[in-house]
Amino acid sequence: MKRSNAIELGLTIPLQRHLHLKALPYLQESDRRFCWDLHIIPLRGQPSLLAVHCHTRYTFVLYDLNRLEWECLPDVFLDGLRLSLSASGFPAETVKELCGSELPLFTRTHGRREVAFLNRAWEDVMAVELALDESSQSQPLLDQLVNAKPSRCAGAEGLGMAAERLADMLSRI
Alpha helices, DSSP H, located in 2-139 = 13-18, 67-71, 73-87, 92-99, 112-127
Could you tell me the domains of the chain? 8-168 (3.30.420)
113 with 148: CB under 8 angstroms?
no
Q: What's residue 2's pLDDT?
A: 38
Q: What pTM value is reported for the model? A: 0.93
pLDDT per residue as tens digits for the range 120-141: 999 999 999 999 999 999 999 9
Our CA angle for 13, 151, 173, nearest 5°, is 85
